[in-house]
A and B are shown apart, each in its own frame.
Chain A
Amino acid sequence: AIQLTQSPSSLSASVGDRVTITCRASQDLNNALAWYQQTPGRPPKLLIHAASTLEGGVPSRFSGSGSGTHFTLTISSLQPEDFTTYYCQQFYDFPLTFGGGTKVEIK
């Protein structure tokens, strides 16, 4: 199975900060990677698919980049509602796998 390693596993930041989360794959994914945001008690919300395509309705402060084995999710200016957990997921091969998650906390 393809392993996805997210880093950091948690980070502390302030409102307005620029934050970058990394997802590294154990093999080439081309661009078959999605990013999700999950708030406690809620299902994940799809933010980005195909590594860099923003879902409709997702604020433009979110962006994704990368290809191959190295991907990033960037939040350009953290807002209060962004302090939660983020996951990457690969769609390149079975089984579809998720990264371990990154928790963004208020500094």
Chain B
Amino acid sequence: QVQLQESGPGLVKPSQTLSLTCTVSVDPISSGNYFWGWIRQPPGKGLEWIGRIYTNGGANYNPSLKTRVTMSIDTSKSQFSLNLSSVTAADTAIYYCARETIWSGYDYWGQGALVTISS
């Protein structure tokens, strides 16, 4: 059973950078035909795809966030990370990390991390 767990600050000040890490139980993370993705959901609203990263570090980002998003992966630690810069209140959301079976769907998800942007 694959397990994912998000970690990071629950409160970030406006204009600062939101940083989250996802730890995956699968060892090694580099095995298999998977992408590792981030999806967010403002409280009470729908889902927004942020982007995904492959084990070689190649990433795809949502153009609506592209200038502010950076993803990285550390296969030795079975972790991948999200950085979102210059945050505003509009970035307040539950942030999920998830595994994508390539082009098929996100089949394993973390429990989600609520990140609030507030001074």
Contact = CB atoms under 8 A, between A and B. Distances in A.
B49 A44 contact: no
B110 A91 contact: no
Contact of A100 (B46, B52, B62): B46
B101 interface: yes
Interface of A: 1, 32, 34, 36, 42-46, 48-50, 55, 87, 89, 91, 94-101
B47 A98 contact: yes
A96 B103 CA distance: 10
Contact of B64 (A32, A34, A95): A95
B109 A1 contact: no
Given A43-B109, A44-B47, A97-B49, A49 B104 contact: yes
Nearest to B44: A40
A55 B104 CA distance: 11
Contact of A94 (B46, B47, B60): B60
Interface residues of B, number: 22
Contact of A43 (B60, B62, B111): B111
Contacts of A36: 105-106
A96 B101 CA distance: 14
4 nearest CB pairs, A to B? A43-B109, A34-B105, A49-B105, A95-B62
Contacts of A98: 46-49
Contact of A91 (B64, B103, B111): B103
A44 B104 contact: no
Given A42-B111, A95-B63, 13 more contacts: A1-B63, A32-B103, A34-B104, A43-B96, A43-B109, A44-B96, A45-B109, A46-B106, A49-B104, A55-B107, A87-B47, A91-B103, A98-B47
Contact of A44 (B61, B101, B103, B109): B109
